[in-house]
Amino acid sequence: MTPLLLLAALAAGPADGAADDAWRGFLGPGSRSAATAAVPTTFDGAGGTNVAWAAELPGGGFSGPAVAAGRVYVTADSGFNSDVLHVLAFDDATGAKLWDRRFQATGRTGTYEPDMRVATGTPATDGEFVFAQFSSNDVVCLTADGDTLWYRGLTADYPNVSNSLGMSSSPLLATAADGTRTLIVMAENDAESKLFGLDPATGESRWVLDRPNQANWGSPVLLPAGSAFRNDGDLALCQGSYGLQALDPGTGEIVWEWGDGASTVVSPNVALGPDGDGRILVVSDGIAALEPVVGSDAVKVAWQNSRLRPSYASPVVVRSPAGPLVATLTQGGILSVADLATGEEVGKARLSGKYWATPVAVGVGENLRLFCPNSEGEVAVVGFDAEGSPEILAANKLGEDGMWASPAAASGAVYFRSDATLWKIAGSK
């Protein structure tokens, strides 16, 4: 492909496939952390039951996998100072490593938190290009074949953009109403807080916004074009101490905002279901469910439940036999479930272990399963009864500590990663 054709492809993006065929970035299609195709309930890392493949990784990371066009992308860091940054691609069918591109970190990699990683942000991909953001505030764009198109160290321009505990936002690729694609990069911290809108073709800044100087480990998520909030183009939703802001990705303009304060640890979830239950779930004094106000650009709180208090996992909407529900998970393993329509709790379950990752919901109705990986390498699989109450169906051991990354799901498979291994779990075809 010639340079001009490459730039055109980066600007326009590829034709999109079926939503369930890919997991293009953090929280997957529509920022829901959900997919519809069924996945095996039981699996075993050591015994190989329902393990399609397991691939060795060259370094640690809390970043989740991204899946598109037959490839699985993940990031890692290695080296004495964790300053060697990896972007890797694996063949989705076989697990064979296709390439491992390595870069030298230009920003801060040391933190006061010994358990922190530099490879924290889940990469974003459109199937032709992959974009990765690291805790060092290095951002890179590569082709699906591993050719580097651009690399940018944001701390070269903004030297105080860093966090003593490390950064963990994931990049977001969004398309404005006029067709302009922009890579949203969130770098909110205590010293020099910024939000960047980068040209995906060059890495140059389209716009840079000053943000409140407060550490924020959440990620921007997508409010897709044509949602119940009547947005003609995609909007980027950013949650922080300021509440929730919906931004035009092409200009950085705040289209609407909800200013009641929100968590700086997790990200919002967009609940846009087939039955029109259009709501955005924000972690703010529990969970606040926002919905549009008919006839205006404003939003209102449909309900707020202070008893739903996720720790580090973002809330997830599940399509249970009882209807759509909101699931939240604490670090100590308390899984709480509430009715998406009313916010009333319908059940709880106690899972074993410590939880950092956002669960992924796979399937609908009686086939719905919620996959919850804990940091000790065990994945609890939760089903839901006719009333929507959660019940633990299986506790599957993958056999490695250090599973902090949120999983991905696509085409009837679910993907997990630890510091050492990337797994694909799928039934036989």
Count of the separate structural domains present in the chain: 1
In contact, 225 and 232? CB cutoff 8 Å: yes
Range of the domain at 353: 28-58+313-428
What is the model's pLDDT at position 274?
58
Please state, in angstroms and rounded to a whole number, the distance separating the CA atoms of residues 410 and 426: 10
Reported pTM: 0.93
Contacting residues for 218 by C-beta, under 8 A, at least 6 apart: 169, 186, 238, 239, 240, 263, 264, 265, 266, 267, 268
Q: What's phi and psi for 225, nearest 5 deg? A: -55, 145
What is the model's pLDDT at position 30?
80
Give domain status of residue 352, yes or no: yes
Give domain status of residue 51, yes or no: yes
Give domain status of residue 394, yes or no: yes
In contact, 331 and 351? CB cutoff 8 Å: no
Q: Which of 220, 182, 301 is nearest to 26 (CA)?
A: 220
Give domain status of residue 308, yes or no: no
Q: What's phi and psi for 409, nearest 5 deg? A: -145, 135
Q: What is the domain-level CATH number for residue 358? A: 2.40.128.630
Retrieve residue 30's tokens. 């529509």
**Average pLDDT per run of 10 along the chain, which is 429 residues long?**
55 50 91 84 93 96 96 96 96 98 93 84 96 97 98 94 87 96 95 96 97 92 89 94 94 92 90 72 93 79 94 93 93 96 95 96 89 96 95 94 92 94 86
Q: 10 Å Cβ neighbour count for 198?
A: 25
Give domain status of residue 40, yes or no: yes
Q: Which of 225, 262, 26 is nearest to 235 (CA)?
A: 225
Give domain status of residue 203, yes or no: no
What is the model's pLDDT at position 8?
55
Please state, in angstroms and rounded to a whole number, the distance separating the CA atoms of residues 371 and 374: 10
Give domain status of residue 174, yes or no: no
Give domain status of residue 215, yes or no: no
Mapped onto helix, strand or coil, the DSSP state of residue 8 is helix
DSSP code, position 145: T
**What would the pLDDT profile of 160-185 be if each residue is shown by its tens digit?**
988 888 888 999 999 999 999 999 99
Alpha carbon 66 to its chain centroid, in Å, reads 9
